[in-house]
Chain A
Amino acid sequence: MDSFLVWISRFIKGKMMRHMPNMITCVEFEEFIIDYLEGTLSQTDQLKFEKHIRFCRECREYLTAYQHSIELGRIAFKLPDDPVPEDVPEDLVKAILEVTRR
C-alpha cells in the first residue's frame, strides 16, 4: 500500500509539473541549475526555477547539497597543504636559469 501511495503521489506530482502554468519538471530543473547559479537564466526561466524550488522538496534539498559540495571542494582545496612549500626549491630555480640562459 505504501509503495502504491508513493507511486500515485509521484504520478500526480509529475502531471502537475508538466501541466501547471509556468512550472517545470525536475528534469528541466536539472538543466537550469548551472545557468541559475551563474545568473544567466532568463527572467521567465528564473521564475519557473524558483517556483519549482518552492514546490519540490527533492530538488530543493538536492540543490542545497549540490551547492554545499561546490563549497566543500573549494574550501578543501584552498586549505594549506602540508608539503607544498611557499618557496620554490633552489634546484628548480637553478634548472630554470640554466635552460633560459641565452
Chain B
Amino acid sequence: MDKCKTEDVSEHQLIEGVRAGQDIAVSELVKLHGGWMLAVAQRLLRDRALAEDCVQESFIRATQNIDSFEGRSTLKSWLHRIVINSALMKLRSKNRRNESSLDQLLPVFDANDCRIERPWHDIETPEKILLRANMKNIITEKINALPDGYRVVILLRDIEEMSTREVAEALECSEGAVKVRLHRARAALKSLLEPILRGEDENG
C-alpha cells in the first residue's frame, strides 16, 4: 500500500492543519512521509543516528516554512528537496569525509587515444548478479567506497532520480560540472564493479 498516495483534498487538509499548528496534522505528516525521508537520509549519510537528526531537522524546517509551500510542486517533492538539502549540509560538516582520488579507477587510453579495455567474453546481467547472496550489500559497499563528492552525485542522479538541474541547485555548481562529475563517478563505479560484472569475484 502506498502510504503517500493521498487524495489532493486530504493532502490539502493536512497542509492546512500543519499551517494551523495542529499537533495531529504534524504527527500525520511525519507518519506519512518520515519513512521514505529516513531512507533517503540514510542512503546519503550512511548513519542511522545522523539520518534521524536529518529527518527531524527537515520536518522542523518544513513546518516552519509551510507557508511558503504554494502547491506548485507536490508535497512529496517539496519534502524531498528539504531532506536532500539537510542531508547534504550534514555531509559537508562531517569530519571524516572520503576525499580519496578517483584516478586509478578511471578508464585508460594509450598514446594513440585508443581505449585499453580487456575483452569481455561474457557479461552478467544486473538481475542475475543480484540473485547471488549478499550482492546488494557488496554493491552498496562499492558505491560507498567512492569519494564523497562522486558518491553523492551518483546517489542524487541515479538513485534519487533528480534532474541535472536539481542536482546542480542542490550542490551549488553548474549543470556542466554535475555531468562531468557524474560521468567520472559512473566510470569509477564500473571499475569497482568490474570483477563482479566479469564473474571473476570471489563472491557467489
Report A's interface with B, CB cutoff 8 A: 10-11, 13-15, 17-18, 25-30, 33-35, 38, 56-59, 61-62, 64-66, 68-79, 81, 83-89, 92-93, 95-97, 99-102
Across the interface, A92 reaches (CB within 8 A) one of B30, B109, B180, namely B30
In the complex, number of A-B residue pairs with CB atoms less than 8 Å apart: 161
Within the complex, the shortest CB–CB distance from A91 to chain B, in Å, comes to: 9
| Closest partner residue, chain B, to A15 (CB atom) | B112
- Select which of B35, B109, B155 is within 8 A of A86 by beta carbon: B35
Question: Measured between alpha carbons, how far is A87 from B33 in the docked complex, in Å?
Answer: 9
For A88, the closest partner residue in chain B by CB is B34
> Do A65 and B140 touch across chains, with their CB atoms under 8 A apart?
no
State the Cβ distance, A34 to closest chain B Cβ, in Å. 4
Q: Verify A88–B193 contact, CB threshold 8 A.
A: no
Question: A61–B43 contact, CB under 8 A?
Answer: no
Map CB proximity to A onto B150-176 as digits: 1 under 8 Å, 0 otherwise: 000011001100001000000000000
Which chain A positions have C-beta within 8 A of B126?
68, 71-72, 75
- Chain B residues contacting A76 (CB-CB under 8 Å) are 130, 135-136, 139-140, 143
A72, chain B: closest CB distance, angstroms = 5
Are B113 and A27 in contact (CB-based, < 8 A)?
yes
Q: Choose from B110, B186, B196 the contact partner of A10 (Cβ within 8 Å).
A: B110
